A and B are shown apart, each in its own frame.
Chain A
């Protein structure tokens, strides 16, 4: 599906420009992280990339196909910050997607295994813990066999062990050549898994660089201040 090419993108909600002058090209596989302060527009840009929001201006194309095109969206999957658990069992949640996308049912075990949810397969999905629900949401997204996986703060409010398991799922996805585009506030996590970082400030991209460069010598003042605030002792 790559490259993703965004040109002069603007998104307005209630006549307010929440994203403006967005120019971005994501051509490489691996993990791209969207970072920035609360309300900067990271999640909005993620939804726009996934075709859930129609931009007010500009273009957003996946290998030349418009982002809202159904053919493009069929090759992507998204996990939301507060994942929706369908009112059925853990296995039922994955089977729902396998049936929807005409995938063989025998892949269920493989997805349960990757998410470390085999023992809870018959349990109601809504009775799982927050971390388990997030792992199930990622497993369900991966059951779509996407080429691009969007993750909106998948480890927010999770403990280190749960976070590690989610990161293991992300590594599993990138190992299958799935492009991961993720929003996170966790700088340490971004350091561990990012290949490149897109920094957003007040609805505009101020920087898009390789992760190593971003964390050592950020180009923009806003990114520099953001990282400085993170490492500053309280």
Chain B
């Protein structure tokens, strides 16, 4: 039976010395999740803002779709990306399967609806106050989007963090498209799954603690930067 003392001793061991394997896994986890989140923000923020302020036929349907995609199971999305990137798939010629790039694509697809949906809601709420002044000043749509994104920057930072949290903590998609290959596509969550299947529960839990600590540090960094952005 795994005890908390065993977990704590494993955590202490993991953090006591610079384990090259752990550093590699943590580094790849951060590289994949941060890249996916940044790319999702670059597209999701303006997309969500546009959905909020620009009326067009089918806007309600788009909103419904994006909101629904927030709940997409990572395994299902991983399978879809797998089929897309597999040799016989439409993008198989790119030979991206079982590479970190494939993992970034899968996590990007997971994070994009979260960022876009949360942005749309936030910007739509703000637009009630901004609509008349923006029309009065004859602000073009692109400038209005920029203005709303900038003025809501603190709230949207939370949307970005929600997206990052989804990316760094998911396992279903990255294990399917990445394959959990040692020194190539192994990240924190896939390592936890591996250790669990091997029965090394203290190490699996210790890796989980390390993962949460990293998430905590990133959240703290973002939280502290809010004051500077205000």
Contact = CB atoms under 8 A, between A and B. Distances in A.
A70 B150 CA distance: 25
Interface residues of B, number: 16
A13 interface: no
Given A52-B132, A80-B132, A144 B147 contact: no
Contact of A77 (B136, B143, B150, B153): B136
A121 to B, nearest CB: 17
B138 A84 contact: no
Interface string B129-169: 11011011111000100010011110000000000000000
Given A86-B147, A87-B150, A87-B151, A100 B137 contact: yes
B221 interface: no
A224 to B, nearest CB: 34
B230 interface: yes
A210 interface: no
A114 B139 CA distance: 24
A52 B130 contact: no
B57 to A, nearest CB: 20
B150 A100 contact: no
Interface in A39-90: 47, 50, 52, 70, 73-74, 76-78, 80, 83-84, 86-88
B78 to A, nearest CB: 38
A83 B130 CA distance: 10
Contact of B138 (A70, A86, A87, A88): A70
B138 A73 contact: yes
Contacts, number: 37
Contacts of A52: 132, 135-136
Contacts of A77: 136-137
B129 A84 contact: yes
B139 A100 contact: yes
Contact of B136 (A50, A86, A96): A50
A110 to B, nearest CB: 19
B167 to A, nearest CB: 28
B135 A97 contact: no
Contacts of A88: 150-151
B136 A78 contact: yes
Contacts of A169: none
Contacts of B150: 87-88
A97 B143 CA distance: 11
A100 B138 CA distance: 9
B148 to A, nearest CB: 10
A87 B150 CA distance: 8
Contacts of B136: 50, 52, 73, 76-78, 80
A21 interface: no
A84 B130 contact: yes
- B137, B147, B151, B230: most-surrounded residue (chain A CB, <10 A): B137
Interface string A117-161: 000000010000000000000000000100000000000000000
A88 B148 CA distance: 12
Contacts of B133: 78, 80, 83-84
A144 B230 CA distance: 26
Contacts of B152: 87
Interface of B: 129-130, 132-133, 135-139, 143, 147, 150-153, 230
27 contacts: A52-B132, A52-B136, A73-B136, A73-B138, A74-B138, A77-B136, A77-B137, A78-B132, A78-B133, A78-B136, A80-B132, A80-B136, A83-B133, A84-B129, A84-B130, A84-B133, A86-B147, A86-B151, A87-B150, A87-B151, A87-B152, A87-B153, A88-B150, A88-B151, A97-B137, A100-B143, A124-B230
Given A73-B136, A78-B136, A86-B147, 18 more contacts: A47-B132, A52-B132, A52-B135, A70-B138, A77-B136, A78-B132, A78-B133, A80-B132, A83-B133, A84-B129, A84-B130, A88-B150, A88-B151, A96-B147, A100-B137, A100-B139, A100-B143, A144-B137
Query: Nearest 9 pairs between A and B by C-beta?
Result: A87-B151, A84-B133, A78-B136, A73-B138, A84-B129, A74-B138, A52-B135, A86-B151, A52-B132
